[in-house]
Amino acid sequence: MTTAATGDDIMAEARRRRTFAVISHPDAGKSTMTEALALHASAIIEAGAVHGKAGRRGVTSDWMEIERARGISITSAALRFEYRGHMFNLVDTPGHADFSEDTYRVLAAVDCAVMLIDAAKGMEPQTMKLFEVCRHRRIPVITFVNKWDRPGREALELLDEIEQRTGLRPTPITWPVGIAGDFHGVADRLEDRIIRYVRTPGGATKALESELTPAQAEAELGDDWRRAEEEIALLAEIGADHDQKEFEAHQSTPVLFGAALSNFGVARLLDAMVDLAPPPSPRDDVAGAPRPLAAPFSGLVFKVQANMDPAHRDRIAFVRVCSGHFRRGMVLTHAATGRPFATKYAQAVFGQDRATIDDAFPGDVVGLVNAGALRPGDTLYEGPAVTFPPIPSFAPEHFAVARSRSSGKAKQFRRGIDQLDAEGVIQVLRSDLRGDQAPVLAAVGPMQFEVVQHRLAAEFGAEITLDRLDYTLARRTDAASAERLARQRGAEVLTRSGDQALLALFTDRWRMNSIKADHPDLLLAPLIADTTAGS
């Protein structure tokens, strides 16, 4: 194990970290952008494609078989690479609203977010939902208007929509030359230069860039350049200029234009992350006291994933380093149990590929292998005790009874259900009445059931049947209320495996309110305190 770094060394390392998530509405291009960023940072040689067309590679961050088959991300993935002397920890997030809970966990572990907006669709529902979560967590947001190489809306119209619907003041860093669908390049307002893009075959390698003078832009791009000049002058007149303090205070959002699939504007986004995105800062514990960056090691578990390596069937916990110097082999304390936790197997993760990591600093994401005792939201620490706020679970709206198709696979069925529950893929509810062989799976979205079925069959050899239940909402209750609720039609009480909470399920809101009216002293509490996450 390496020697512990000094406080000055820890602070210096923290300053060069950039830990961020790529978030957006489904199909806005998150995984494509993740791949493009890794390509431009020279972390990979050739970018893949998110659509599973014959002969084309899948993206690095989409490592599950079901992700590659469906062409969407259903789990978060961590990618670590260096660029311009800075260490990037880029966390890709699920590409479907049914997995927004996984996105929420990721947002507990980052210092900045890159929000992608489809140039044709603008601010979509999931985009708004994620903006609100970022606002609540005070996470600065850089906006990238994607797919500008396809027909879309007016740039100024999109800026108005961002401001009206989010309250963030958009401050364009780059401005497109050419309307959506006829994209020539951008004018960089911060660096006062004009960049022209030329796409490479298939968009698999970096786009060719050339710098133009205003005279060259006038001669080569004509009316498109003159229109861009007029719009840039208007932006200056209304004061839509970047202000770093406003950005970090979540009052404004820098805006860039580009096309991730063509690799247009991606390098400029990387530079913006280095120049504008904030480095790690002290994180508040459950009592609201900040843990200094130079304090002894502390980390937050934000994701647990099993079977990333099919050959070893292991379990990896993704830990955001919050303070101190992580050294592989150090023995930490698991705040939830008070027990020691050894870190012999620590890895940096790049999609499904891994490499042993000996040191990590605030902002880094470390993968701890065979972390059977850890769950999302857990805290690990060295030295003075600390516990970070837990990561709330979403309120489920879909419920189904799971049963193994084969009685001979009962052991694999139980092990698989317990594993997926620990990862947070699904919430598992049990009761004495239903028995251990028929747990109720509770999901935010129905596609979670599809993932559970696929993973149980592929990873544990346990095929299952799912019988959907008529319940549509859940509330936290207590033992006294549970006794009376058990006698009510259209209601059922089960125990959530993860935290042993008693959950009351109802067929609909009308039925819940009717029961509550008859029994006003029943405890029926919302499942999530952070209402910005929604359900």
pLDDT digits (tens, 9 = 90+) for 408-433: 999 999 999 998 888 888 899 999 98
Check whether 93 is labelled as a binding-site residue: yes
316 and 210 assigned to the same domain:
no
Residue type, 414: R
Indicate the number of domains in the chain: 3
Say whether both 171 and 297 belong to one domain.
no
Question: What does the pLDDT read at residue 237?
Answer: 96
**Residue 257, in any domain of the structure:** yes
Q: Indicate whether 270 and 364 sit together in one domain.
A: no
Q: How far apart are CA 29 and CA 114, in angstroms?
A: 12
Distances (CA, A) of 332 to 210, 355, 472: 51, 21, 41
What pLDDT score does 98 carry? 57
The answer on 307 and 266 residing in a single domain is: no
d(CA 478, CA 53): 51
Going by their DSSP bridges, the two strands 17-24 and 112-118 should be labelled as parallel
How many angstroms separate the first and last alpha carbons of the chain?
Answer: 44
Q: Quick one: average pLDDT of 45-69? A: 42
94 labeled binding residue:
yes
Domain end, chosen from 312, 346, 381, is at 381
Does 109 share its domain with 157?
Answer: yes
By C-alpha distance, which of 413, 320, 410 is closest to 374?
A: 320
DSSP code for 202? G
For residue 92, say whether it is annotated as part of any ligand binding site. yes
Q: Are 207 and 131 found together in one domain?
A: yes
User: DSSP characters for 302-341?
Assistant: EEEEE-SSTTTT-EEEEEEEEES-EETT-EEEETTTTEEE
- Give percent of the chain above pLDDT 90: 61
Residue at a domain's end among 230, 254, 275: 275
Residue among 512, 480, 501 nearest 429 (CA): 501
- Determine the structural domain holding residue 441 and report its residue range: 398-533
Domain boundary among 224, 249, 275: 275
Domain assignment present for residue 111? The answer is yes
Residue 307's pLDDT is: 61
Nearest-angstrom CA–CA distance, 8 and 190: 32
For residues 260-277, give the mean pLDDT.
95
Question: Over 70: is that where the pLDDT of 97 sits?
Answer: no
The CATH number of residue 57's host domain is: 3.40.50.300
Q: What pTM value is reported for the model?
A: 0.81
* Per-residue pLDDT band at 39 (split at 50, 70, 90): confident
Residue 32: alpha-carbon gap to chain centroid: 15
The amino acid occupying position 462 is A
Average pLDDT on 246-267 reads 95
pLDDT at 51 exceeding the cut of 50? no
Which amino acid, 451?
V
pLDDT mean over 97-119 = 83
Q: Please check whether residues 118 and 210 belong to one and the same domain.
A: yes
256 and 299 co-located in one domain:
no
* 42 pLDDT above the threshold of 60: yes
For 238, residues 6+ apart whose C-beta sits below 8 A from its C-beta are: none
Q: Are residues 319 and 338 in the same domain?
A: yes
Tell me: the pLDDT tens digits for 313-360? Answer: 667 889 999 999 999 999 999 999 999 999 998 887 665 567 788 999
- Residue 72 has a pLDDT of 43
Inside any domain, residue 86: no
Query: Do both 234 and 301 map to the same domain?
Result: no
Q: What's residue 386's pLDDT?
A: 97
Q: Domain for residue 388, yes or no?
A: no
Residue 7 falls inside a structural domain: no
If we measure between CA atoms, which residue out of 462, 93, 458 comes closest to residue 308?
Answer: 458
Could you tell me the pLDDT band of residue 66, with boundaries at 50, 70 and 90? very low
258 is annotated as contributing to ligand binding:
no
Kindly tell me the sign of the dihedral angle through the C-alpha atoms of 121, 124, 128, 133: negative
Q: Residue 451 falls within a domain, yes or no?
A: yes
Burial class (CB in 10 A: 0-12, 13-18, 19+), 238: exposed
Statement to judge: residues 519 and 418 lie in one domain:
yes
Is 88 inside a domain boundary?
A: no
Is the pLDDT score of 99 beyond 50? Answer: yes
Q: Does 214 carry a binding-site annotation?
A: no
Report CA torsion sign: 355, 360, 363, 369. positive
Asked if residue 429 and residue 320 are part of one domain, the reply reads no
254 falls within a domain = yes
Residue 520: phi and psi, rounded to 5, are -65, -15
220 sits in which H/E element:
helix 214-221
Give the lowest-confidence range in 209-218, 270-279, 342-351.
Answer: 342-351
pLDDT tens digits for 371-397?
A: 878 988 999 999 999 999 988 777 889
